Structure 1
Amino acid sequence: MTDGMLELDGATISWSVQEGDRPTVVQLHGLSMSRANEAAAAYFDWSPVAAGGRRLVRYDARGHGRSTGRPVPEDYAWPMLAEDLFALLDEVAPGEAVDAIGVSMGVGTLLHAVTSRPERFRRLVLVIPPTAWATRAAQGDAYRQMAGLVETQGYEALVRAMAAFDPLPLLQDGGWTETPPPDLDPAVLPAVFTGAAATDLPRPEAIGAIRQRVLLKPWVGDPGHPVSTSERLHELLPDSTLEVMAAPEDVRALGARVAAFLA
């Protein structure tokens, strides 16, 4: 495993590479998560991807985990995060077209990236795509409320509020009952959520121009990641496969399914 830090405008990006002898795949986490948080939550296991000999790149988005950021909401809009992704790829996989796995916010980042510079990508895996277009406004309101809570009552107030919500039934049924707290610097957390509230997926016509093979893996019962987003993406994307995760065993099989798709 190789670790590194990438200095960007207003941020330092923490990344890691598990070396392999096959082409690179990059994995992007969701809002308020990180590499460490994904490991703590334990429902997404990417080890089968690396086990197949792939060169697996993972990183913490700006403001998340071990990466740093500044309290500027525009820095956390998905097109800006896509520019961070390009900078990282220029550092760890220069000139290479990579496969990519995006989770939630990572889906938004990845779709903005591939519609901007499609030559940098081969195949895409979109895991639990978030609210988009018609469903985005209500989610944006929720993010702004979270930002306001931290600004007025502090980070711990948000942690308590999030802990009061029951886990998704799908995760609870699978034994994943602990929800890790946000892995964000409290000083930038309001800006991260405000930036997320003000951003959306690319326009449908831009998504319809994507020519990469795409695997869509939504799960059920999550208003923040409605299956309807994946269904609409499936309609728009010319070469996509839609597979809904409806049971805990579907979530457990995700890593192996992604590895097979990218093989």
Structure 2
Amino acid sequence: MASPATEFVQVNGGRLACSVRGTGPVVLYAHGLFCSRAVDRQRGLVDFSPVAEAGCRLVAYDARGHGESGCGRHSGAFGWPALADDLLALADHFSPGEPVSAIGLSMGTGTALHAALKRPERFRKLVLTAPPTAWDTRAAQVQVYRKLAAVAASGKVALLEKALAMAPVPPIFANIPRPSPLAAVALQTLPLVLAGAAASDLPAPAALRGIRQPTLVLGWDTDPAHPVSTSATLAGLLPGAELRVARDIAEIATWGEQAAAYLGGG
């Protein structure tokens, strides 16, 4: 299937690159850290295009500082609450009169949750995939981001790649090539993006109990950066949420169809 044309949308002082596929109620897709529309296509881990074939208008976009999208000049521009403001601006642009649904992956899940709490009336349904480590389990990941930010700030690409190569690979991804952050984020922007991730967390559990939208939580196994414990906690906190956990790559590959069936028509 050919890739849709890129559309640039001005939001919150930046320019976000978007691709639109299908017709119907709008579904916004927010990718993970170090990813982009191009990286997602190249990696081929999850394909959400079936959502556009299920009576929805799927809007995939490159997050601030990723892919073809512009960026801010301080780490706060890359924190999940700020990224949530970008998602909300896209919701207002593509669907000013009707609520949207949102699909988030890792960082995108954090983005979607912060957005849903800021303006709950803008959302119909949520699909939260690969929820990242959060709350009490997040400290170790924060330290990883801070160390990588310091290496990236040195400007030494070889040193950065060596540091990334030393990171353990989750068993579920043992046979999947790991993309370099530089495939989606420019070296000069990477320290800010990492600092933003280090300063971010999912919303507080007490706040999450107030999210009333129907929600599908899709987690994957054996990854400390995206532990099943976060997915299970989210599903327990969000009223009426449904949890499914993928145990291998083949199951992750079905997430597009699962999201399409869940959102079907919005």
Shorter chain as denominator, the TM-score bin is: over 0.9
Give the AA of the match of 1:15: C
What is aligned with 2:211? 210
Instruction: Identify the residue that residue 238 of structure 2 maps to in structure 1.
Output: 237
Moved more, 243-252 or 211-220: 243-252
State the partner residue of 2:22.
19
In 2, distance between residues paired with 1:242 and 1:189? 33
More divergent stretch after superposition (147-156 vs 28-37): 147-156
**Counterpart-to-counterpart distance in 2, 1:151 and 1:99:** 37
Q: Which residue of 2 aligns with 1:192?
A: 193
- Partner AA of 1:109 in structure 2: T
Q: Any conservation in 2 of the 1:126–1:217 contact (CA below 8 Å)?
A: yes
- Identity of aligned pairs, percent? 44
Distance 1:157 1:10, change over 3 A: farther
1:5 aligns with 2:8: yes
Deviation at 1:153, TM superposition (A): 4.7
2 CA distance for matches of 1:128 and 1:9? Answer: 27
Find runs of 4+ consecutive structure 1 residues off by over 6 angstroms: none
Q: What is residue 91 of structure 1 aligned with on the other side?
A: 93
Aligned-partner Cα distance in 2 for 1:192–1:185: 10
112, 115, 118: which one pairs with 2:114? 112
Q: Contact (CA 8 Å) 1:2, 1:18: kept in 2 or not?
A: no
Q: Which has the larger displacement, 40-49 or 149-158?
A: 149-158
Q: Is the 8 A contact 1:151 1:190 kept in 2?
A: yes
Q: Deviation digits for residues 49-82 of structure 1, max 9, x if unmatched?
A: 1122321101001000001113311111111101
Please give the alpha-carbon distance, in whole angstroms, between the structure 2 residues aligned to 1:256 and 1:179. 24
Moved more, 245-254 or 156-165: 156-165
Residue of structure 2 equivalent to 1:68: 70
**Per-residue CA shift, 1:171-219, capped at 9, x if unaligned?**
33xx5x2222111011111011011101111111110011111111110
- Check the 8 A contact 1:26/1:58 in 2, yes or no: yes
TM-score (normalizing by structure 1)? 0.93
Structure 1 Cα separation of the partners of residues 111 and 162 of structure 2: 28
CA 1:250–1:75: 2 relative to 1, 3 Å: same
SS at match of 1:125: strand
Structure 2 gap segments, 5+ residues each: none
User: Is residue 2:221 matched to residue 1:220?
Assistant: yes
Report 1:7-156 matches (<5 A). Answer: 7-20=10-23, 22-156=24-158
User: Helix, strand or coil: the match of 2:245?
Assistant: coil
Secondary structure in structure 2 of the residue aligned to 1:179: coil
- Relative to structure 1, the CA distance from residue 11 to residue 159 in structure 2 (aligned partners, 3 Å threshold; closer, same or farther) is farther
Q: 1:56 to 1:188 in 2, by over 3 A?
A: same
How many residues are matched?
Answer: 259
Q: Is the 8 A contact 2:98 2:122 kept in 1?
A: yes
Is residue 180 from structure 1 mapped to residue 163 from structure 2 by the alignment? no
Q: Distance in 2 between matches of 1:93 and 1:157?
A: 44
Amino acid at match of 1:17: V
**1:56, 1:93 → 2: CA distance?**
11
Contact 1:129–1:226 (Cα < 8 Å) also in 2: yes
Contact 1:17 1:56 in 2 (8 A): yes
Contact preservation (8 Å) 2:145, 2:194: yes
The CA distance in 1 between the partners of 2:38 and 2:155, in whole Å, is 26
Offset, 1:120: 0.7
TM-score, length-scaled by structure 2: 0.92
- Residue 4 of structure 1 deviates from its aligned partner by 1.5
Structure 1 vs Structure 2 CA RMSD: 1.5
